[in-house]
Chains A and B, each alone.
Chain A
Amino acid sequence: MRVGLFLTCVNDTLYPDTGRAVVKLLTRLGVEVDFPMTQTCCGQAHYNTGYRHQAEPLAWHFSDVFGAYEAIVTPSGSCGAMVRELYPRMGERAAAEGRGDALTRALAPVVPKTFELTEFLVDVLGVTDVGACYPHKVTYHPTCHGLRGLGLADRPRRLLQAVRGLELVELPGAEECCGFGGTFALKNAELSAAMGADKVRSAESTGADVLCAADNSCLMHLGGTMSRLQSDMRPVHIAEILASAEEDPAV
Chain B
Amino acid sequence: MSGTFVGMPAFPEAASRAVRDATLRGNLRHATHTIRAKRAQAVAELSDWAALRTAGMRIKEHTLRHLDRYLVQLEESVTAAGGTVHWALDAEEANRIVTRLVQETGESEVVKVKSMATQEIGLNEALAAEGIRAYETDLAELIVQLGKDRPSHILVPAIHRNRGEIRDIFRTEMGRWGRPAPEGLTDAPAELAEAARRHLREKFLRAKVGISGANFMVAETGTLVVVESEGNGRMCLTLPQTLISVVGIEKVVPAWRDLEVFLQTLPRSATAERMNPYTSMWTGTTDGDGPRTFHLVLLDNGRTDTLADRVGRQALRCIRCSACLNVCPVYERAGGHAYGSVYPGPIGAILSPQLRGTASAIDASLPYASSLCGACYDVCPVAIDIPEVLVHLRERVVEGGPAVREGNRVVLKPAKGHAAERAAMRAARWAFTRPGALRAGQRLASGTRRLHPRTLPGPGRAWSGTRDLPAVPVEPFRDWWQRTHGGKEGTG
A residues touching B (Cβ–Cβ < 8 Å)?
A: 7, 9, 11-17, 19-20, 23, 34-41, 43, 45-55, 57-58, 61, 64-65, 68, 89, 96, 144-145, 148-149, 175-177, 179-197, 220-221, 223-225, 227-228
Contact = CB atoms under 8 A, between A and B. Distances in A.
A121 B99 CA distance: 66
Nearest to B469: A224
Interface in B458-492: 459-460, 462-470, 472-473, 475-478, 480-482, 485, 487-492
A12 B310 CA distance: 37
Contacts of A195: 329-330, 333, 371
A53 B393 CA distance: 14
Contacts of A223: 468, 470
A53 B391 CA distance: 12
Contact of A20 (B370, B394, B480, B492): B480
B378 A190 contact: no
Contacts of B395: 50-52
B12 A40 contact: no
A11 B367 CA distance: 28
B375 A13 contact: no
Contact of B481 (A17, A35, A148, A224): A35
Contact of B432 (A9, A149, A182): A9
Tell me if A's interface is mostly helix, strand, loop or mixed: helix
A187 B492 contact: no
A54 B429 contact: yes
Interface of B: 11-12, 15-16, 19-20, 25, 310, 329-330, 333-334, 365, 367-375, 377-378, 388, 391, 393-399, 421-422, 425-426, 428-429, 431-433, 435, 438, 442, 445, 459-460, 462-470, 472-473, 475-478, 480-482, 485, 487-492
A191 B19 contact: yes
Given A177-B375, A184-B370, A191-B334, A37 B482 contact: yes
A85 to B, nearest CB: 10
Contacts of B433: 40, 57-58, 61
Contacts, number: 211
A225 B480 contact: no
Contact of A220 (B371, B470, B487): B470
Which of B330, B388, B399 is the most central at the interface, judged by chain A CB atoms within 10 Å of its CB?
B330
The interface centre, meaning the residue of A9, A58, A177 with most chain B CB atoms within 10 A of its CB, is: A177
Contact of B480 (A16, A52, A65, A183): A16
B310 A96 contact: yes
24 contacts: A7-B477, A14-B472, A16-B475, A16-B476, A16-B480, A20-B480, A37-B492, A40-B435, A49-B394, A50-B399, A54-B425, A58-B432, A96-B310, A175-B375, A176-B329, A184-B368, A188-B330, A188-B371, A190-B15, A190-B16, A193-B467, A195-B333, A227-B468, A228-B467
B473 A227 contact: no
A190 B19 contact: yes
Nearest to A42: B432
Nearest to A187: B368
A179 B463 CA distance: 12
Given A20-B480, A184-B368, 15 more contacts: A37-B490, A41-B432, A46-B429, A48-B391, A49-B394, A58-B432, A61-B433, A89-B388, A176-B329, A185-B462, A185-B463, A186-B463, A193-B467, A196-B467, A224-B469
A19 B463 CA distance: 25
Contacts of A190: 12, 15-16, 19-20, 466
Contacts of A11: 477
A214 B474 CA distance: 23
Nearest to B310: A96
Given A20-B480, A58-B432, A190-B19, A50 B397 contact: yes
B333 A191 contact: yes
Contacts of A48: 372, 391, 394
A14 B394 CA distance: 28
B482 A41 contact: no
Contacts of A34: 487
Q: Which 8 A-B pairs have the closest CB atoms?
A: A181-B371, A50-B394, A224-B467, A189-B462, A177-B373, A193-B466, A16-B477, A19-B477
Given A36-B491, A38-B491, A191-B334, A46 B369 contact: no
